[in-house]
Amino acid sequence: MQNSNLKCPTCEGKLGEERTAIEVAHAFLLGTKYSSPMKLNLTEHGVIKPIEMGCYGVGISRLIAASVEVLSSTKQLRWPIAIAPFRVAVLPPKVVVKP
């Protein structure tokens, strides 16, 4: 879907595209939890202080949920074969019990 508000200043004003995305990974800020015990320091303007750390990780549960969400429809639950819990699952029709 084109959006006239998305203009790249370095691309001569060409429009960008708006797309749907799913976050499956993110950055974890660790602070000085590991750098302080390891005495991993940085000298900045004559002041010695522990290095601020971070890491990037893929969330396994998010990856599974995103895979199923992308492949499935409102009537079908589809798994990528590489992570599917079963090759074949036979499910009986849903029975609606009326009170």
Strand ranges in 1-99 using DSSP code E only, listed in sequence order: 2-7, 15-17, 25-31, 41-44, 47-50, 53-58
pTM of the model: 0.46
DSSP reduced 3-state for 73: coil
Average pLDDT on 82-99 reads: 84
Q: Which tokens go with 28?
A: 């974890």
Over 90: is that where the pLDDT of 84 sits? no
Q: Where are the domains of the chain?
A: 22-77
Confidence (pLDDT) at 39: 93
Each residue's pLDDT tens digit, 9-64: 677 666 767 778 888 888 889 999 999 999 999 998 999 999 999 999 888 888 88
